[in-house]
A and B are shown apart, each in its own frame.
Chain A
């Protein structure tokens, strides 16, 4: 066991830092929250991704054949850690590079890999995840969007919801039911779909903070050619599991996103750092942040040795959600009445969130991190089964053909 960089890792970190210093500005800890004008944000993400690709820093763990750097998971984490200190935007590639890439590397055809992976790394394609439906959230395997065979491909009809950044996406990954006569997990196929295909209608949904981050997506007679199927027909659930695992490990992959420096800085700036209650809040935040950091090290170690992380990943996502909420809570205690001020009206959503508003915004968006990528309860259920070996929850629908469930 050795906690800390090996000489090779330290050299990599120095190289990454030098490159970042040459190509980006340091982030100001007192600066506003990430931009709320999503169109701008997405533009900045594209530019930065292109810069990364141009200089060989995109897709650090991806094979060089796909345009990646061919590096290790540890290197990828080191780069993310260093990058987090800089004022750069990356969020729009969370689905593409974070989830679709690993899925294509594992399940895609060579043709699909060639077609999509390079473009993704160069920031040319933004991807969205068309999984959840009004009736299929936690119970994702019950998706009812139908894909039916037609000449040379499939025709898709149905509705998706809560599709993050769907309004900006060039491509989407889509789960649709291709065989209703088998139990729910068995009849699903995993597609990739060009978001400009006729029949796709994207309607933004405004969220609590006033930002329209996610969307409803209506699919009416949408044609997807045969080469848009990822993995085997009817095998969509196992392909989707790769995506979901990537999503959870991405959320927990450790990029300094749980840093408490900003919180401590806020307490100092407002002269609240001598208050014993505030100090306890700061100390507790540090305890949580350290735990996340070490859990992250362990996760990376597992990945870098080629082991598929198990329950650690779920622990990490839960701990992250808790840390997020508790940190925002402490910030609100520091701010006092100022914590309830801030313009979250739709009209103001196109502006930057100024100064300390970011804490209120963080407080208000805690629900997102607790729900997205599988809710807290769903993660706990998995921990119960996988880490503790508890029996699975009884399921009323196990083994029942999907079309019979739909009638219930």
Chain B
């Protein structure tokens, strides 16, 4: 048993932190918020440092790392609020590398590796947040491909991506996961703005894909691919949330130590200190549960429960931490010229993106009840 990071992992974490902390000034964040919602230059810097390709196989130009290393990048992203498509693009590319027929998408992946294109997945659904909930229907075409029809909301970086992995349901109730080119005819992406200002789009499909664009095998086994995408995405989002909580708390600790009311620093009031300490405890619970989930995913172990446990902490706990930090700042935190509100917006965004806390509990409860 060793819960510590390896030396290599620590190097990765330090490198990601160094790049993101160096680039992400408040001014840069404001430019992104007012414009495209994200920062392509930071993404280019990550690609340049071989961090975009870190978790892709070596034969595709990557470093062959896995979910735990992605978790470290994601924590650094959250801490620095870097508006880049880390989770959707890396997880989707990992899935393509893992499940597509060998050699079919190497060119696409090479362009992901060098940072010139983005890819994403359409996993959200309104309300219940079950990626398999019928939103898109798939029917076989005469030439062995598939016709896809339906809508998926809130696809992160949908309009910015070259391809989207979309789970779809077949008439017999089984499913497939298709990699859809966004420039194909019959693919519509309508931009939506999100709570933390990063881009998202609703995806409407009335299009066809070739057999080689299906990840894995259509039918019962495809549910595994969907689950893989969902679990890796949720686990990585949990790590982003850890970074968000950590960043918010660091800013809050500095503020309550500095600001004086009633002739003493706010931190001299126990109500303040205890709330901040509770937030720290929650953040550490988020960290250990998300790292455990990522490690199990990376090790190829069953991580269903672990992902749900981490997701519950990240949604319920994460929102509690950012709410506490916002509150402990008082009125100054409510003014968008002061930076703490960004952690709040990110915390809320991450906390709702792939299901509210109750949805993760329901999922975990279901797993427990069935076993």
* B140 interface residue (CB < 8 Å to A): no
* A344 interface residue (CB < 8 Å to B): yes
Give the Cβ gap from A136 to chain B, nearest Cβ, in Å: 8
B269 and A377 within 8 A (CB): yes
Interface residue from A137, A336, A381 paired with B331 (Cβ < 8 Å): A137
A347 to B124, CA, bound (A): 26
Q: Which residues on the A side are within 8 Å of B128 (C-beta)?
A: 272, 275, 336
Most buried by A among B126, B154, B345: B126
> Which of B45-53, B83-91, B335-343 forms part of the interface with chain A?
B335-343
- A 313-354 contacts with B by CB, 8 A: 325, 329, 332-346, 348
Give the residue name and chain of the A residue nearest to B319 (CB).
A329
B129 and A337 within 8 A (CB): yes
Q: Which residues on the A side are within 8 Å of B345 (C-beta)?
A: 208, 344, 364
> Which of B6-14, B107-115, B190-198, B226-234 forms part of the interface with chain A?
B190-198
- A 337-391 contacts with B by CB, 8 A: 337-346, 348, 360, 363-364, 366-368, 370-371, 375-377, 380-381
Give the Cβ gap from A324 to chain B, nearest Cβ, in Å: 12
Give the Cβ gap from B365 to chain A, nearest Cβ, in Å: 9
* A2 interface residue (CB < 8 Å to B): no
Give the Cβ gap from A320 to chain B, nearest Cβ, in Å: 15
* B70 interface residue (CB < 8 Å to A): no
Q: Which residues on the B side are within 8 Å of A380 (C-beta)?
A: 271
Q: Which residues on the B side are within 8 Å of A371 (C-beta)?
A: 327, 330-331, 334
Q: Which residues on the A side are within 8 Å of B349 (C-beta)?
A: 340
Interface residue from B262, B332, B362 paired with A138 (Cβ < 8 Å): B262
* A307 interface residue (CB < 8 Å to B): no
Interface residue from B193, B194, B271, B336 paired with A208 (Cβ < 8 Å): B336
* A162 interface residue (CB < 8 Å to B): yes
A344 and B262 within 8 A (CB): no
B194 and A342 within 8 A (CB): yes
Q: Which residues on the A side are within 8 Å of B200 (C-beta)?
A: 341
A340 and B348 within 8 A (CB): yes
Q: Which residues on the B side are within 8 Å of A343 (C-beta)?
A: 193
Interface residue from A335, A345, A363, A396 paired with B263 (Cβ < 8 Å): A396
A402 to B349, CA, bound (A): 44
* B98 interface residue (CB < 8 Å to A): no
A142 to B264, CA, bound (A): 12
Q: Which residues on the B side are within 8 Å of A206 (C-beta)?
A: 335-337
* A3 interface residue (CB < 8 Å to B): no
Give the Cβ gap from B31 to chain A, nearest Cβ, in Å: 13
* A304 interface residue (CB < 8 Å to B): no
B271 and A396 within 8 A (CB): no
Q: Which residues on the B side are within 8 Å of A363 (C-beta)?
A: 348
Q: Which residues on the B side are within 8 Å of A214 (C-beta)?
A: 334
In the complex where A343-B193, A367-B326, A367-B327 touch, is A396 in contact with B357 (Cβ < 8 A)? Answer: no
Give the Cβ gap from B348 to chain A, nearest Cβ, in Å: 6
Give the residue name and chain of the B residue nearest to A277 (CB).
B358
* B151 interface residue (CB < 8 Å to A): no
Interface residue from B193, B260, B332 paired with A345 (Cβ < 8 Å): B193
A345 and B194 within 8 A (CB): no
Q: Which residues on the B side are within 8 Å of A14 (C-beta)?
A: none
Q: Which residues on the B side are within 8 Å of A231 (C-beta)?
A: none
* B356 interface residue (CB < 8 Å to A): yes
B126 and A367 within 8 A (CB): no
A139 and B262 within 8 A (CB): yes
Q: Which residues on the B side are within 8 Å of A207 (C-beta)?
A: 334-336
* B175 interface residue (CB < 8 Å to A): no
Size of the A side of the interface (Cβ < 8 Å), in residues, is 58
A325 to B319, CA, bound (A): 11
- B 102-156 contacts with A by CB, 8 A: 124-129, 153-154
In the complex where A205-B337, A371-B327, A371-B334 touch, is A340 in contact with B353 (Cβ < 8 A)? Answer: yes
* A395 interface residue (CB < 8 Å to B): yes
A334 to B126, CA, bound (A): 9
A336 and B124 within 8 A (CB): yes
Interface residue from B127, B262, B272 paired with A336 (Cβ < 8 Å): B127
Give the Cβ gap from A261 to chain B, nearest Cβ, in Å: 20
* B286 interface residue (CB < 8 Å to A): no
Give the Cβ gap from A103 to chain B, nearest Cβ, in Å: 22
Q: Which residues on the B side are within 8 Å of A145 (C-beta)?
A: none
B264 and A336 within 8 A (CB): no
In the complex where A271-B127, A340-B353, A364-B348 touch, is A208 in contact with B262 (Cβ < 8 A)? Answer: no
Q: Which residues on the B side are within 8 Å of A360 (C-beta)?
A: 195, 348
B336 and A377 within 8 A (CB): no
B358 and A376 within 8 A (CB): no
* B33 interface residue (CB < 8 Å to A): yes
B358 and A333 within 8 A (CB): yes
* B359 interface residue (CB < 8 Å to A): yes
A344 and B195 within 8 A (CB): yes
A132 to B326, CA, bound (A): 18
Q: Which residues on the A side are within 8 Å of B194 (C-beta)?
A: 340-342
B335 and A340 within 8 A (CB): no
A381 to B33, CA, bound (A): 39
* Binary contact track B171-210/A, C-beta < 8 Å → 1, others 0: 0000000000000000000001111110010000000000
A162 to B359, CA, bound (A): 37
A332 to B127, CA, bound (A): 9
Interface residue from A277, A337, A340 paired with B362 (Cβ < 8 Å): A277
A363 to B315, CA, bound (A): 14
A322 to B127, CA, bound (A): 23
* B282 interface residue (CB < 8 Å to A): no
Interface residue from B193, B263, B344 paired with A348 (Cβ < 8 Å): B193
B356 and A339 within 8 A (CB): yes
Give the Cβ gap from B311 to chain A, nearest Cβ, in Å: 13
A380 to B336, CA, bound (A): 28
- B 62-117 contacts with A by CB, 8 A: none
* A408 interface residue (CB < 8 Å to B): yes
* B165 interface residue (CB < 8 Å to A): no
* Binary contact track B349-361/A, C-beta < 8 Å → 1, others 0: 1011111111101
Interface residue from A270, A281, A375, A405 paired with B127 (Cβ < 8 Å): A270
B334 and A336 within 8 A (CB): no
* A161 interface residue (CB < 8 Å to B): yes
| Apart from the given pairs A337-B129, A368-B334, 17 other A-B contacts in the complex at a CB distance below 8 Å | A138-B261, A139-B263, A205-B337, A206-B335, A206-B336, A270-B126, A277-B359, A337-B354, A337-B355, A339-B356, A341-B193, A341-B194, A344-B195, A380-B271, A381-B271, A396-B263, A397-B262
Q: 10 shortest A-B CB distances, which residue pairs? A: A337-B124, A333-B356, A396-B263, A397-B263, A139-B261, A343-B193, A340-B352, A339-B352, A277-B358, A162-B331
Can you list 6 A-B pairs, Cβ within 8 angstroms, ordered by A? A208-B344, A277-B359, A340-B194, A341-B153, A346-B34, A371-B327
